[in-house]
Amino acid sequence: MISLLYEIWNTIRQNKMRTFLTGFAVAWGIFMLIVLLGSGNGLKHGFAANWGDRMVNVVQIWGGRTNIPYAGFQSGRWISLDDNDLQFTSKEFADEVTAAMGNINLGSKNISYGTEYLSSGLRGVEPDIMQVEGLKIAQGDGRFINDLDIREKRKVIVISQRAREILFKGKDEEAIGKNVNVAGTMYTVVGIYYVEDRQDITNSFIPLSTAKMVYGRGVNLSSLSFTLSDKITDEKTNTDFMNRYKKRFAEEHQISPEDDNAIWYWNRFGNYVQLTSVSGFINIAVWIIGIFTLLSGIVGVSNIMLITVRERTREFGIRKALGASPVSILKLVVLESIIITTIFGYLGLICGVGITEFAAQFFEPSSGRDSFNAFLNPTVDIGVAIQATALLIIAGTLAGLFPALKAVKIKTIEAINDK
Amino acid sequence: MPTIIKLKNINKTYYSGAPLHVLKGIDLEINRGELVSIMGASGSGKSTLLNILGILDNYDTGEYHLNDVLIKNLSETRAAYFRNKLIGFIFQSFNLISFKNAMENVALPLYYQKTGRKTRNKMALEYLDRLGLKEWAYHMPNELSGGQKQRVAIARALISKPQIILADEPTGALDSKTSAEVLDVLKKVNATGMTMIIVTHESGIANQTNKIIRLKDGIIEKIEDNSEHNFSRFDIQNIK
C-alpha cells in the first residue's frame, strides 16, 4: 500500500499541470458551491434577524374610528378597547388564543433621577408582554413586572438599558431599588431590560393595574395583544380566524361588519408565513444553482480525468508489458484521482468557508428601530459542505474509473503503440 | 540443450475489416541460451509472432509452450504475471516512462513483483552500473541519448531475471555506432546464458546472431544456422 502511495505521489509530482487542472476543477466547484450556499444563507439569516427575538404568533388590536353609520350610531365614532374585549377574546376564542393581555400607552413622560432625566414612552403592561415583544433582562439586572405587581398595583418600573445609562451614569451606580420620578409620581426600579440589536429603545414599563389607577384610565385599554395557539398553522387558518374575530369585535362594539376603519390590527403571524415562504423560495433557488455548480465541477473533473487517462494509455501499456495487472492499473488511476480530488476538494472547502466567514465579519447585524438586515452571517452548514465535497470526490473517482476501465481493456500491444 | 520456446502450428487472423491471416501455422523451437533473430519484410508477421511470444497478443489455434507452461487463453492478470516473471522486453522506441528517472524505470518490473522500494532501487542501481549508466541513474529519459535510453531499457528487461529477452528492432532508432554498442551489450547478456530473440530487418544485426529465422507471408521460410556469422551483409537472397 505504501509502495502504491509512493508510486502515485511520484506520478502526481511529475505531472504538476495535470494535477493542478484536475485539482482546480474540484476546488473551484466546491468553492463556488459554498460561496453560493453561503450567500443564500446570508439572505435567509438577514430575514430571520429582522424578526429578532419577538414572538411570531402575536396579534395586536387597536380601536379605530367608524366610517359607516350603524345600529343608530353615526360614523366618525371612536372605538376604544376595554376589559370586555379582553374577556371575549380569551373566553370565546379560547381555542385559538393562548394569552391575551391589555396594554395602556401613556405617551411620553419625563423620568428623572437626581439631576439626570430623559423623556421616555411609558406603557402599562402585563408580564407576558416580555415574550411577545422579545424583551430581555440580563443577569443581575433585576426582574420584569410580575403577577404580584399587577395584583397589588405596585408602583414599580422597568427601564431600558439606555435609560439606566442616562439616569444612573452608566453602570457606575446601582439602579435596582432606586426611586425615579415619572412626571411627579415616584416609581421603584425593579429591572432593566434590553432588546437584542435595538439599543435605542427607551420605553419604560409599569404594571397595567398601576397605570389604570394612577392615570385614571378606568377600564380603557390602548391596545390588546394576544398570542395564537398552535391551531393556527398557516395563512388560511390565520385569515379564517381573523375574519371571525373581526366579526365578533364588530358585534361587541356595534360596528358595521363592513367597516374596516373601526378595527386596526397587526397580525405578525401572517407576515411571518409570507416571509417564510420567501425564505423557502430562496432556499430552493440556491440549492438548484448549487447543484448545477456542483454538476459543472463534476463535468470539469470528468473531462480532465478522461483526457488524463487517454494521455496515459501508452504508459499503462508499458506498465502492463512489465507485469502490471489490469487491477493494479485501475488502483493506480482511481487512488490518484481520490487523492487529488480529496486534497483539492478540502482546499476548496477551506477557501469557501474562509471567505464566507470573512464576509460574515462585514455584515454585522445592524441595529436601530428601522434597521433592516438584507444580508447576515453568510455561512454554510459544515455538514452540507462536507457532503458536497464527498459527492465531488466520488464523482471525480467515477469519472476516472470509467475511462481507466476502457484504457485497461485496450490490448497491451496496442496501448504501447498508442501515439 | 532444453527447449524453452515451443510453437506448434500457430495461427493468427486479424478481423479488422477484411480477415487478415497473418500467421499461417508457425512451428518453432528455441533452446535455452540461444541468440536468435527473426527477419522478414514488413507484413511478414514478425511483429505478430513477437507479440505472441511476449504474451502481448493471443493466437487463434495451435500451442505455445514457454518454459514448459502452456500459454493459451490466459486472463490479462495471468498474462501480466507471466510477462513479469518470464519475459524481458526491449522495444525499438525504448518505451521508458517519461516522468520516471532511469533508476525508477529500471526498478518498475520489481514494483510489480511487490519488492520493497529500497531493495528495488538498490538492484536498479546495480543493473545500471553493469550497463555503465551509474551516473545517469537520476536522470529523466529526456536527458539521455538514444543509446543510453536503450541501455536503461535493457537494464529494465534484465532486472526481473527473466527466462527470455524479446527485442523488437532494438537498434531501429539508433545510429550505426550506438547500434553496435547496444548489440554488444545484448550479446554479452546472451553470453551469460540468457535466451534472446531479436526481431530485425537489418541483416547486419541478424548476422551477429547465431540463428536466423526468416518469415515470409506468415510462414517460416527457412531457419538458417549462422554460427559462423558469415551471412551476407547485403542480403543477396532477398534482393533477387
Digit-coded pLDDT (tens) for A76-95: 888 888 888 888 888 888 88
Is the CB of residue B168 less than 8 Å away from at least one CB of chain A?
no
Q: Taking each helix axis as running N to C, give the angle between helix A326-362 and helix A16-51, from 0 to 180 degrees, rounded to the nearest 10.
A: 40
β-pairing, B164-168 vs A204-207, is unpaired
> Looking at CA atoms only, how far is residue B49 from chain A in angstroms?
12
A128 and A190, same domain (yes or no)? yes
Confidence of residue A332 (pLDDT cuts 50, 70, 90): confident
pLDDT of residue A364: 63
pLDDT of residue B124: 95
* Of B20, B4, B28, B15, residue with least CA distance to B219: B28
User: For residue A318, is it within any domain?
Assistant: yes
- Exposed, middle or buried: residue A158 (CB in 10 Å: 0-12, 13-18, 19+)? buried
Final residue belonging to a domain, choices A177, A200, A220: A220
A196 and A277, same domain (yes or no)? no
CB-CB contact of B141 with B172 (8 Å): no
Confidence of residue A319 (pLDDT cuts 50, 70, 90): very high
Is A325 in contact with B80 (Cβ distance < 8 A)?
A: yes
Average pLDDT rounded to a whole number, residues B147-168:
93
Average pLDDT rounded to a whole number, residues A97-115:
88
Q: Inform me whether the pLDDT recorded for B240 exceeds 50.
A: no
pLDDT in tens, B115-155: 888 999 999 999 999 989 999 999 999 999 999 999 999 99
pLDDT of residue A34: 84
CA–CA separation, B23 and B216 (whole Å): 10
Is the CB of residue A405 less than 8 Å away from at least one CB of chain B?
no
User: For residue A202, is it within any domain?
Assistant: yes
User: For residue A363, is it within any domain?
Assistant: yes
A313 and A381, same domain (yes or no)? yes
Is the CB of residue A235 less than 8 Å away from at least one CB of chain B?
no
Q: Inform me whether the pLDDT recorded for A128 exceeds 90.
A: no
A125 and A48, same domain (yes or no)? no
Average pLDDT rounded to a whole number, residues A177-183:
90
A44 and A116, same domain (yes or no)? no
Average pLDDT rounded to a whole number, residues A338-344:
85
User: For residue A149, is it within any domain?
Assistant: yes
CB-CB contact of A20 with A347 (8 Å): no
pLDDT of residue A52: 63
Residue of B nearest to A314 (CA): B95
User: For residue A90, is it within any domain?
Assistant: no
Q: Inform me whether the pLDDT recorded for B56 exceeds 80.
A: yes
CB-CB contact of B84 with B160 (8 Å): yes
pLDDT in tens, A363-387: 765 554 445 566 667 777 778 778 8
A212 and A304, same domain (yes or no)? no
Indicate the number of domains in chain A.
2
Of B77, B112, B114, the CB nearest to A322: B112
Is the CB of residue A384 less than 8 Å away from at least one CB of chain B?
no
Confidence of residue B231 (pLDDT cuts 50, 70, 90): low
Mutate which: B53, B84, B143, vs A, most A CBs within 10 A: B84
Task: For residue A391, give its domain range.
Answer: 2-53+273-416
CB-CB contact of A154 with A210 (8 Å): yes
Is the CB of residue A321 less than 8 Å away from at least one CB of chain B?
yes
- Exposed, middle or buried: residue A258 (CB in 10 Å: 0-12, 13-18, 19+)? exposed
Is the CB of residue B112 less than 8 Å away from at least one CB of chain A?
yes
CA–CA separation, A25 and A400 (whole Å): 14
Residue of A nearest to B77 (CA): A325
Of A14, A318, A325, the CB nearest to B95: A318
Of B120 and B42, the structure prediction assigns the larger pLDDT to B120
Mean of pLDDT over chain A: 83
Final residue belonging to a domain, choices A220, A253, A283: A220
Max avg pLDDT among A211-220, A368-377, A398-407, B33-42 = B33-42
Give domain B3-239's CATH number out of 3.90.550.60, 3.40.50.620, 2.40.10.10, 3.40.50.300. Answer: 3.40.50.300
pLDDT of residue B105: 94
Q: Which of A265-279, A375-389, B67-81, B212-226 has the lowest mean pLDDT?
A: A375-389
Is B51 in contact with A413 (Cβ distance < 8 A)?
A: yes
pLDDT of residue B8: 94
| Selected residues 253-282 of chain A with any CB under 8 Å from a CB in chain B | none
pLDDT of residue A57: 81
Q: Inform me whether the pLDDT recorded for B100 exceeds 80.
A: yes
CA–CA separation, B119 and A332 (whole Å): 21
Average pLDDT rounded to a whole number, residues B106-119:
92
- For A210-279, give the DSSP string: HHHHHTT-TTEESEEEEEE-TT--SHHHHHHHHHHHHHHHHHHHT--TT-SSSEEEEEHHHHHHHHHHHH
User: For residue A231, is it within any domain?
Assistant: no
β-pairing, A116-125 vs A97-113, is antiparallel
A35 and A118, same domain (yes or no)? no
Q: Inform me whether the pLDDT recorded for A307 exceeds 80.
A: yes
Residue of B nearest to A312 (CA): B97
CA–CA separation, A239 and A227 (whole Å): 15
Of B64 and A235, the structure prediction assigns the larger pLDDT to B64
* Of B120, B108, B220, residue with least CA distance to B153: B108
Q: Taking each helix axis as running N to C, give the angle between helix A16-51 and helix A2-14, from 0 to 180 degrees, rounded to the nearest 10.
A: 90
Final residue belonging to a domain, choices A220, A243, A260: A220
**What percent of chain B stands above pLDDT 90?**
61
- Grid cell listed for A407: 484504457
What residues contact residue A184 under an 8 Å CB cut-off, 6+ apart? none
Q: Inform me whether the pLDDT recorded for A419 exceeds 80.
A: no
Is B100 in contact with A319 (Cβ distance < 8 A)?
A: no
Q: Inform me whether the pLDDT recorded for A49 exceeds 80.
A: no
A298 and A381, same domain (yes or no)? yes
Model confidence pTM above 0.80? no
**What percent of chain B stands above pLDDT 70?**
95
